[in-house]
Amino acid sequence: MSSDRVLIENLPVIRPKPLSFAISALMAAPAISAVAQEQSEAADDRMLEEVTVTARKRAESLQDIPQSIQAISNEQIIQAGFTGMDDYARFMQMILNGGQRRGVRVLSEESVAEMTRDQLDGLIVVEQPGALPAWSRSFPLGAGRDGFGLGFQIKKGREEGTRPPGSLSWAGIQNTHFWIDVENGIGIVLLLQVLPFYDEAAIRLLNEFERVLYTDVIR
């Protein structure tokens, strides 16, 4: 596997040599485009023919409920209007800049301050056990210590070779991990497509990249 890129617009490109991995400081953020009015009625008719009822009134164990996954093609993603990874890099820049990017105000400084403030009022993030081992291991890193804001886990404590306190992070189920390092002004994303969530190899890769970044690149 060849090294990919770590990139944030207007920030230096980082290429940690000790690792071989696919890494990109970009994340995808969905933005579904509008559908023309003349197409909507036909689409609604097709959708009504394919309605599947999944809600049930009786209590059931999650392990006993059938799981359904639908795969879509690259062409369908483009047609649906999903944006590229660059858009999430812009989002991280906006958070780092207190709610604005390139002179355009997206969020107020007060909103960003509230999003990035620990909202747990003295409580801490606790480990969430993986209910379905094929889908998720126990998570997250930082359990038993970190706080949580509005959408971000907030790093507490400082250890050598790790992101500094106040860094903001979270992850997606197929091991798409990110953090925003407010202290150093960078955003990092590791994009994988691997199950289960918190797969041991994925977390080793995440931890090793973080160690190299803060040991060999940022000192």
Q: What number of CA atoms fall less than 13 Å from residue 101's CA on the CB side? A: 16
More confident residue, 15 or 200: 200
More confident residue, 32 or 133: 133
Distance between CA 92 and CA 81 in Å, rounded? 21
Q: Is residue 61 part of a domain?
A: no
**Contact between 15 and 2 (Cβ < 8 Å):** no
Q: What is the DSSP string of 1-58?
A: -----B--TTS--B--TT------S------PPP--HHHHHHHHHHHHTT------SS
Per the structure, the count of domains in the chain is 1
**Contact between 152 and 169 (Cβ < 8 Å):** yes
Which pLDDT does position 63 carry in this prediction? 53
What are the pLDDT digits (tens) for 102-118?
A: 999 999 999 999 999 99
What are the pLDDT digits (tens) for 30-85?
A: 332 333 334 444 444 433 344 444 444 455 554 565 555 566 677 776 777 666 67
Task: Round to the nearest angstrom and report the end-to-end CA distance of the chain.
Answer: 27
Which pLDDT does position 73 carry in this prediction? 74
Q: Is residue 107 part of a domain?
A: yes
Distance between CA 106 and CA 90 in Å, rounded? 11
More confident residue, 209 or 12: 209
CATH number of domain containing 160: 3.40.710.10
Q: Is residue 13 part of a domain?
A: no
Distance between CA 148 and CA 22 in Å, rounded? 28
Q: What is the mean pLDDT of the chain?
A: 75
How far, rounded to the nearest angstrom, does the alpha carbon of residue 135 sit from its chain's CA centroid? 17
Q: Is residue 190 part of a domain?
A: yes
Q: Is residue 73 part of a domain?
A: no
Q: Is residue 53 part of a domain?
A: no
Distance between CA 116 and CA 97 in Å, rounded? 12
Q: Is residue 207 part of a domain?
A: yes
What are the pLDDT digits (tens) for 140-153?
A: 999 999 999 999 99
Which pLDDT does position 30 carry in this prediction? 33
Q: Is residue 191 part of a domain?
A: yes
Distance between CA 103 and CA 209 in Å, rounded? 32
**Full domain range(s) for residue 90:** 85-217
Lowest mean pLDDT among 5-19, 103-117, 188-202: 5-19
Distance between CA 46 and CA 88 in Å, rounded? 33
Instruction: Say if residue 199 is exposed, middle or buried (CB neighbours under 10 Å; 0-12, 13-18, 19+).
Output: middle
Token pair of 2, please? 């060849």
